[in-house]
Structure 1
Amino acid sequence: MTQLHLRHKNILDHGAAFHLSRAVLDRARPKVLHTQDYHELFWLVNGKARLYLEDQKQTLVEGDLVFMPCGTPHGLQGVGEACHIVNVIVPAGEVDALLARYPQANRYFPPSGHAPVHLHRGIRALSRLSSAAITLESAPRTTLHLEAFLLPLIAELSGDTRDMPEGIPAWLRTAVIAAEDPATLQGGAAGFVAATGKSHAHVSRSMQKHFAMTPSDYINARRMAHAARLLAGTPDTLPEIAEALGLSNMSHFHRLFRAQFDITPRRYREKNQKGVIQPV
């Protein structure tokens, strides 16, 4: 497939630090792939899409976020019903300046010609990203406003991925990030496996290899970590917390929590809410 090269000077206004656009993807397969002299990040607000690279194609779904480096041939195609995306274009010089101050952000801005970074945002994270994009859309096209958008996003993504083992496949990384979303936690191990798009047996083998845990053990550990945050920071009752995590059996909830924290949920709340003033 032939290639087209795009330049930021033909897209951005003179002196602009970024360009933001919204689009409905064409359902026709791209006739050519294109490269570019700028970085971009885009995410699907709804619908499905195909991302074409030189040697493969990837399916993107609502909530998928892609960091595309300079010089990487690619193309996008909408699939099925209207696919809406948001796209932010950032000149290479802006990214270089940001990485000089925050080198840990380089995982999201790969070198020219490298594979894109493909992540997934759950419904709450996607809502935060969409709200931040609305603010950016109406802001002056300055470095200050660009970094006010990028830095919180990168900090949030870094928090999501800080405990990832080396060598974890992209599909499992995406599912592990999705497991921080309460909607995924509600679905239990079945919901976690569904987020991978792989068979239960394949997910089980991969989880044992990278985390030394079964999918059920992993999702229950995430459930209890979320329960601990709710116990310490909210006035929600124990049944409300258990229900939010997809656990209808209170005895099972208590056993899981005590096995992880060696303390009952009620006692955990008493220890961690001392001095906390609850809203009236």
Structure 2
Amino acid sequence: MKYVEINSDAIVGPDAAFHFTRAVLDTARPKALHHHTLYEVFWLHNGRARHYYADTREMLQEGDLVFVPPGVAHAVQGVGEEPHLVNIVVSAGVVDRIAAHGFQKRFFWGQAPHRVHRDIRRLSDLSHRAVALERAPRTALHIEAFLLALLAELDVEDPQLPQDAPDWLVRACVAARDPDVFRDGSAGLARASGKAHAHVSRTMQKYLGQTPSDYVNRIRMDHAARQLAGTGDTLAEIAAECGITNMSHFHRLFRAQFNVTPRQFRMSHQKGIVQPI
């Protein structure tokens, strides 16, 4: 497949910080891959598509969100009826300023496109924010506000699995951050994956070096720590939110992760807080 370089100034323009496009994708196989010196983020709002880059072809489904660094030649082909894509092209200066916030070396900053999946609720939230961005002036202020919110949200969710990890495992690890999932422990994670528990366990050991229980318990204790620092809920109430009914077990898990008891953690993080009169 041929490679075509696109003039970056022709995309964004000299006075704009980003370019926003909505399109129904062509279902014909692309004749060439394009590349330029800008950053791209796009997602499939509806339908399915094929994403071509380097020697790779991957299938995209509704809710898949892809970050493309500069210089990566790629193309997207629609599959089926009404594949609807939202594409945002961003100037290098904007992304350089965002990088100063210390995001991990993924998303825009990898060597290849980075894909994550948004479920129906998160896709709806993203689409709502995109409508506001589409209507906004093409200034650095508006695109930085949009991207910082998105990247901060993803930075919390991203399980940082290897690039070759199966998609179902990535989606299950993201789903495991939902209280309705982690409350059920490793069984909740396995259910979110749609795979047998034994298969999930083997695959997590391969790609993460830990069991489903270890993975979920870390998420549970992170949630417990936030509740301890930011609420007045009792330890029993917080443990129940995490899906743990045995308080001794809750204390052991928390101490193993944070090296202090839940009560000590709360005292150190709520010290000096001024209570309302």
Alignment correspondent of 2:30: 31
Percent sequence identity over aligned pairs: 47
CA distance in 2, matches of 1:217, 1:106: 25
Alignment correspondent of 2:137: 140
In the alignment, is the contact (CA less than 8 A) between 2:12 and 2:90 conserved in 1?
A: no
Normalising by structure 2, we get a TM-score of: 0.70
Alignment correspondent of 1:208: 205
Alignment correspondent of 2:262: none
**Equivalent of 1:158 in 155, 167, 178:** 155
Cα deviation, residue 8, structure 1: 2.6
SS of alignment partner, residue 126 of structure 1: helix
Cα deviation, residue 118, structure 1: 1.0
Alignment correspondent of 2:42: 42
In the alignment, is the contact (CA less than 8 A) between 1:105 and 1:154 conserved in 2?
A: no
**Equivalent of 2:146 in 144, 149, 158:** 149
| 1:88 aligned onto 2:88 | yes
Listed one character per residue, the Cα deviations across residues 30-66 of structure 1 (whole Å, up to 9, x for unaligned) are 3323232211101122322221122121121222110
Normalising by structure 1, we get a TM-score of: 0.69
**RMSD across aligned positions (CA):** 4.3
Cα deviation, residue 79, structure 1: 2.3
Listed one character per residue, the Cα deviations across residues 222-249 of structure 1 (whole Å, up to 9, x for unaligned) are 5686689789989xxxxxx9xx99x9xx
CA distance in 1, matches of 2:188, 2:2: 40
SS of alignment partner, residue 4 of structure 2: strand
Cα deviation, residue 191, structure 1: 6.9
CA distance in 1, matches of 2:217, 2:102: 34
How many pairs are equivalent?
A: 268
Report which stretch shifted further, 44-53 or 173-182: 173-182
CA distance in 1, matches of 2:193, 2:227: 26
CA distance in 2, matches of 1:117, 1:44: 14
Q: Which runs of 5+ in 1 are unaligned?
A: 235-240, 263-270
In the alignment, is the contact (CA less than 8 A) between 2:43 and 2:87 conserved in 1?
A: yes
Listed one character per residue, the Cα deviations across residues 69-127 of structure 1 (whole Å, up to 9, x for unaligned) are 122121212223322221111123432x325633536522236xx31011122333323
Q: Which runs of 5+ in 2 are unaligned?
A: 232-237, 256-266, 268-272
CA distance in 1, matches of 2:20, 2:163: 32
| 1:77 aligned onto 2:74 | no
Pair 209,54 (structure 1): closer, same or farther in 2 beyond 3 Å: closer
Alignment correspondent of 1:19: 19
Cα deviation, residue 147, structure 1: 0.6
In the alignment, is the contact (CA less than 8 A) between 2:3 and 2:35 conserved in 1?
A: no
Report which stretch shifted further, 59-68 or 217-226: 217-226
Amino acid at match of 1:40: E
CA distance in 2, matches of 1:24, 1:53: 20
Amino acid at match of 1:54: A
CA distance in 1, matches of 2:78, 2:194: 20
CA distance in 2, matches of 1:29, 1:186: 45
SS of alignment partner, residue 12 of structure 2: coil
Alignment correspondent of 1:110: 109
Pair 14,213 (structure 1): closer, same or farther in 2 beyond 3 Å: closer
CA distance in 2, matches of 1:261, 1:123: 32
